[in-house]
Structures are given as structure tokens and as C-alpha cells.
Homo-oligomer: A and B are copies of this chain.
């Protein structure tokens, strides 16, 4: 009997997942990669079954009058499914994040310390309508040796159930206990999931800002992610004007719904009269609505920006503009209104750039490039688990590294602490050893 056939209480499900995850954590790289290949093969074989379930979800969603963008995310055509399956094999090819020796140190003769990376345990992932996200997240969890409890959007229920059934069938032929992958099917279970601190080690919410804030406020389990992405671009007095316009247009319009798109443009007053007219024209040509403070409005005829604008993530083709009199004023504005996601400066003055990058408190602080590069794939991590705006690591775009922790192993030959204390205390050698 596979786990999805029974309906244990959530605590019991947590216990099962924890148990399966403990076994998964000790499997070899080859075993985990073989499980990923089994999943990819099974998903290929079950393509008609998966697409039929997804079509049923889509039909029901259409009857319910679902919004178009949500429908597009829900819809899993053959090519999107193929892409997701290729993604599983890509994850298998990534370097194993487990078992790295981060510290290897002789404390004394015959007494050796190692700090070794290991899986976190069990992940709780709450995502929206996209069924392909389930495939990606499950791959990342198995690759990193973690169990995973999944909760997808209710619109995608049939798709998610079918996908998890196929994944369970695949895992039964591998070293990975199928209980390591679990699916929650009701919205009420989210609240219960958030209380399972004994069985869930990390929650990763993927959804609206309000949803992420709700999760953050209602659990003691660590949450990886971010609510707002209020990113800024500051055009300094020493900016190359052509570069500044190109970066501003890209950072705003390339994908306005992305968290790394800019919401506010800060412009030094020395270049404002010169740059604002062509910049406004370029942005407006892309359909961007501009809102400005009084100084900006004195130069270009746009609607006013209020204090609320500085604290708003539009996620849309809207940009607020403020004229500032120094890099310091720009830094102060960003440290006041920013969400510590990604902020950028355009300047040819290296000292000003240095000042900006040192003083802006954000996960990403860029110079002469678009904020849109803040992304795990673009950083070369091979995967992105989420983007964190927390102060503590993991911060910024987080790859597989965010799904692992470490433990300290000390091996001795009967060593006791009394030897190293008191009058005749033996000193430690503290000598770093090679890998």
C-alpha cells in the first residue's frame, strides 16, 4: 500500500515522512540519482494519464471562471511536461550537496573534527497552481536527501494526485522509500502543517506576498522565501546615460511580475533634467505608467507618487521615480523602503559604486547591470529553491545549498576533556587537515 492510499492524521503523516527521510538521508549519491531517473522514466510512461488528469483540472477551472494567467500556470501541455521531465534529469546531473567536508581539523593527535553537510530532514512546500513545480521540487528534495510534504493549489488537485501516484510507483522500484514524498490535499491541512515543528524542518511557500506573510507569521518552523520584492535602481550623477536607460527599461519591463524587477527609480538631481525625458519616453513606449515626486514632476509630466508608492511592489508595468541629491540620500531611501531583495546603481564612479554596494543592506547590490540577474540559474547554481530576503544565510537566490545543513563529527581514541583542562592541561593542536 502506498502512502497516498491511506489518510493518516497529519502527525502520523509527519512521522512517516520523517522516518522515510531518515533512510533517504543515508543513501548514496548513485541511489538518489537512480531514483530521479526512475521518476523521469515513469513520468514519461504516464504522460497520457498525467495530461488527462490535468485536462480535467483545466476543464473544472474553466467552468469556475479561473483568471487567464492562473489557467496558463495550471495548464500542463505535453511540451511543458517534457520540459519538467528534462528538469528532473538536469537535477540528477547537479553536484551532490550532501557529504561535503567543510572543516577537517585535528584537535589533538588522534582526535579529529569534521564538519559534514547533510540533508535538513523534511521540507514542507506550499505552491500554487503549477503542477510542474511539484515535479521540480520533488526532484530537488530527493537530490538533497530530504523528505517532502507537498501542498499544491486546489485547482491542480487532480494533476498533483496523479503526479504523486506516478512518483510513488517509480520510487517503489528504487532505494528511496515512497513515504518520503507526501501530498496534502486540503487547504485546512496547511494550518496543521505549520504546527508540525517536530516533523518539518523548513517551509518553502511559493505564492502571493500576502500568502508568504501569512505563512511567516503563523509558524515556528523556519521559512525560506520572501514576501515583497521592492527593488530599486539608482542613477548616479556619474551614470552613463545610455547605459542607465537600457538598464532601467530592462529592470522594469523584461518581466514586471518577477520579484527582481524594479519598483522605484532614484535619479541624482545633477542628471535628472537630462535623463528623465528620454528615459520616460523609453519606458512609456513599453507601456510603463510613471509616478513621480515633485522634483520629477517638475521635469516630466507624470502623475504624483505618494509615500505609499515607495513601499509598494507593483508587480506590474508601473514605476515610481524620485529625484535625490546624493548617493547617501539614495542609500537612505533604499534602506528605509527596500525589502532587502536586490538594488542596483548605475555610475562610472567606482568610489560611489563601492559606497553604494557597502551601505545598501540587501541580499543583492548590483553595479551597472540589471536587477533581473538576481536568480539562482543566472548565478550558476543549477537550481533555485527560492529567494530569501532574510538577514541570516541562506540569503538571496538559494540553490540546493538551502536544503542542507551540517553536523560535526569528532572521532577520538578514548579522548576525554579532563586531559585538556586544569593545571597540566594538554594544549590542542588545531591543525587543519586536507580533504
Contact = CB atoms under 8 A, between A and B. Distances in A.
A406 interface: yes
Contacts of A372: 416-417
A44 interface: no
A408 B391 contact: no
Interface string A237-255: 0001001001101110011
Contact of A370 (B335, B367, B378, B416): B416
A282 interface: no
Centre residue among A357, A364, A416 by max chain B CB count within 10 A: A416
Contact of A415 (B357, B373, B379, B405): B373
Interface in A377-428: 378-380, 390-393, 395-397, 405-418, 420-421, 428
Interface stretch (A105-113, A178-186, A272-280): A105-113
A430 interface: yes
Contact of A412 (B367, B395, B407, B411): B367
Nearest to A253: B418
Contacts of A392: 120, 201-202, 222, 405
A114 B393 CA distance: 15
A374 B222 contact: no
Interface string A313-354: 000000000000000000000010000000000000000010
Interface residues of A, number: 70
Nearest to A120: B391
A37 to B, nearest CB: 24
A335 B407 CA distance: 14
Nearest to A216: B220
A428 B418 CA distance: 55
Nearest to A335: B22
A380 B411 contact: no
A350 to B, nearest CB: 10
Centre residue among A22, A202, A367, A380 by max chain B CB count within 10 A: A380
A409 B216 CA distance: 27
B370 A407 contact: no
B107 A359 contact: no
Interface in A352-371: 353, 357-359, 361-370
A427 B368 CA distance: 19
Contacts of A105: 379-380
Contact of A420 (B216, B378, B391, B397): B378
Given A378-B107, A391-B120, A393-B405, A369 B250 contact: no
A369 B415 CA distance: 5
B418 A395 contact: no
The 3 closest A-B pairs by CB, nearest first: A369-B412, A372-B417, A250-B416
Given A26-B359, A254-B416, A393-B406, 10 more contacts: A107-B378, A120-B391, A250-B417, A365-B407, A373-B415, A373-B417, A378-B428, A391-B405, A393-B393, A393-B405
17 contacts: A105-B379, A121-B391, A222-B392, A246-B416, A254-B421, A364-B410, A365-B409, A368-B414, A368-B415, A369-B414, A370-B417, A373-B412, A374-B408, A378-B417, A378-B428, A379-B408, A393-B406
Interface of A: 22, 25-26, 105, 107, 111, 113, 120-121, 201-202, 216-217, 220, 222, 240, 243, 246-247, 249-251, 254-255, 335, 353, 357-359, 361-370, 372-374, 378-380, 390-393, 395-397, 405-418, 420-421, 428, 430
